Structure 1
Amino acid sequence: GFKLFGPVAAAPLAATTDRCAFALRLRPNQDFAACLEAFCQAQGIREARIRGGVGSTIGARFASGEVVEPFATELTITAGVIAPGADGLEAVLDVALVDYTGALAQGRLVRGDNPVLMTMELVLEVLA
């Protein structure tokens, strides 16, 4: 009679609907930043903030020049925005990660050079 995972009846919570947000899952072999920029463009979103997310990338390339070579990483998004830039919408993504050897790294990812390995899940809040 022990249930580890399953639905539990509960009273409704007083949730507000004063903001719009999307729960996204990004698929493998697509650039992390490009996916977010394309999604926002398709939805008519001019500015958004990432409210949290986790996932994996094929190594990592940081704006600082640091490169994580091991192909399998697990990361958490520490901060992220998608906003107008010089080339249209631009994603700015700060992450902390661990690779499969146990090495840690953190920083701002380079746009266009960080493909998703297995999946990336995140919550995107629309700002404008």
Structure 2
Amino acid sequence: MTEMTSVTNGTMGRVAYARIAPNEDLVIGVEKLCLAHGFRNAFVRGALGSLVDACLGANDDKFIEVKGPAVEIVSLAGEVRSDEDGAIKAALSGVVADPQGEIYGGLFVAGSNAICMTLEVTLEEWLPAGD
């Protein structure tokens, strides 16, 4: 099976260690952090925190809803890209654990993953060649 891939040359830029406040959405919060720090493109290198509830996209175009309170983020990774108009869009995936310890993974759905207490996140700026 052949898949289309894209290769972009560039360098890593600044690193931001930031906090997202309670009740703010995970995906939208990461996008806002990038805007606030002037990152047009970035990689999400990790995070520590919890969500009120979690909503993850599954492979079959369905959603996995994980009820909290305090759904723990076990791992988080992803990227933030800006389009030609400058709009920023985050694509984040990860693994979460519900209060009973059950594990779920998938893509975080924007607008459906409110931070419970706080979330600490590490962002690394990506500077594509030619920008």
Residue 75 of structure 1: how far off its partner (Å): 0.6
Taking the aligned partners of 2:86 and 2:95, their CA distance within structure 1 comes to 26
Residue in structure 2 matched with residue 100 of structure 1 by the alignment: 99
Residue 52 of structure 1: how far off its partner (Å): 1.4
Residue in structure 1 matched with residue 31 of structure 2 by the alignment: 37
Q: Are the counterparts in 2 of residues 77 and 93 from structure 1 also a CA contact under 8 Å?
A: no
**TM-score with structure 1 length normalisation?**
0.78
Q: Which has the larger radius of gyration?
A: 1
Number of aligned residues: 111
Deviation by residue 1:52-97 (Cα, 9 ceiling, x = unmatched):
1121001101122111022221113342111125992111111111
What fraction of aligned residue pairs are identical, expressed as a percent? Answer: 30
Extract unaligned runs of 5+ from structure 1. Answer: 1-17
Residue 48 of structure 1: how far off its partner (Å): 0.3
Taking the aligned partners of 1:22 and 1:59, their CA distance within structure 2 comes to 26
* One-letter identity of the residue aligned with 2:32: A
Taking the aligned partners of 1:97 and 1:108, their CA distance within structure 2 comes to 11
Of residues 73, 81, 84, the one that matches 2:82 is: 84
Residue 47 of structure 1: how far off its partner (Å): 0.3
Residue 114 of structure 1: how far off its partner (Å): 0.5
**TM-score with structure 2 length normalisation?**
0.76
Taking the aligned partners of 1:87 and 1:115, their CA distance within structure 2 comes to 25
Deviation by residue 1:1-53 (Cα, 9 ceiling, x = unmatched):
xxxxxxxxxxxxxxxxx731011111100001111111212222110001111
SS at structure 2 position matched to 1:124? strand
Taking the aligned partners of 1:110 and 1:19, their CA distance within structure 2 comes to 27
Extract unaligned runs of 5+ from structure 2. Answer: 1-11
Residue in structure 2 matched with residue 46 of structure 1 by the alignment: 40
* One-letter identity of the residue aligned with 1:21: V
Q: Give the alignment of 1:3-82 within 5 angstroms.
A: 19-64=13-58, 65-82=63-80
